[in-house]
Amino acid sequence: MTREQRHHPGTQTERRGFAEVMTRPVPDDVTTRTTTLGGRPALEFVPAAADARRGRLLYLHGGGYVLGSPHTHAGLVGELARRARIRTTSLEYRLAPEHPFPAAVEDGLAAYRALLDGGTDPRELALAGDSAGGGLAIATLLAAREAGLPQPAAVAVMSPWTDLTLSGDSISSKEEIDPVFTADRVRTFADRYLGDRDRTHPLASPVLADLTGLPPMLVQVGSYEMLLDDAVRLAGRAGAADVDVTLQVWPRAPHVFQHQYGHLDAADAALDRAARFLAARLEAPR
């Protein structure tokens, strides 16, 4: 445990609890190995049926920028990789409060740059993420655009957290039916990630950013989520910026319901749709 982590013992307890609840096994036909990417630890997933023509996927896990790791999300990422038949790398970006904004964005950008510098054609590269990781995927692409880097072939986000100002109507209108969050809980995550920093910064709240030039985008969300408006407004702003965007809203589904694959039909259907979306963009004619 680092010195910074010792200063936040409650966070460490929360992370252990999150890991116990969230972690599911990797599919049998997907192999994993630890690696590094952009100077950060990462977990690589290689499906037995991986298709070399489908390039690479960079995945950014959820957890409010405070919780989670590639291991807590290994089951979900392995399922997505298996269904899409795409070699996937899940990044262990730095977490708050030890490493507040913009540390996660810096790590996402460094990983993306490392893939490009390593010879990956951007047309054969996609990004994906869930919850805070979905917002981070969009922020990473915005940072890449500002750095003059080419955009990838696609980005797919599940229940993305894109507005850390908490200005969406669904923060209040869906609070009573959201089985995962309360407004206070979401606000606490924002506080730990941003502190006194500007919550309207486009890399903190990418739904407020100019999304011009971003790649084809898939946005999935459940109708029972407090973050419903984060997803709907992201898709709307992307469309207004001439981005090819697909929004899929599942009725009566909770936050990142895709984690319930194998138990919830909607979860399996959503993962299949995300896999088809990614595979189609990565196999598009050059």
Residue given tokens 């090819």 in the structure block: 244
| CA angle at 5 for the pair 136 and 179, rounded to the nearest 5° | 50
Torsion, CA 227, CA 231, CA 236, CA 239, rounded to 10: 170
Cα 115 vs. chain centroid, distance in angstroms? 17
Active-site residue, 225 included: yes
Q: Which of 270, 256, 261, 262 is nearest to 178 (CA)?
A: 256
- The CA–CA distances, whole Å, from 224 to 20, 170, 184, 193, 257 equal 24, 9, 17, 25, 10
Catalytic residue from among 61, 73, 201, 255: 255
Contact status, residue 218 vs residue 130, Cβ threshold 8 Å: no
State the DSSP code for 197: S
Contact status, residue 32 vs residue 77, Cβ threshold 8 Å: no
| CA angle at 230 for the pair 224 and 232, rounded to the nearest 5° | 80
Catalytic residue from among 61, 69, 79, 131: 131
Task: Tell me whether strands 30-37 and 245-250 are parallel, antiparallel or unpaired.
Answer: unpaired
Range list of H helices, the chain: 3-6, 9-22, 74-84, 103-117, 132-146, 170-173, 183-194, 228-240, 265-282
Catalytic residue from among 69, 79, 225, 259: 225
> What is the C-alpha radius of gyration for the chain, rounded to an integer number of angstroms?
17
Which are the catalytic amino acids?
131, 225, 255
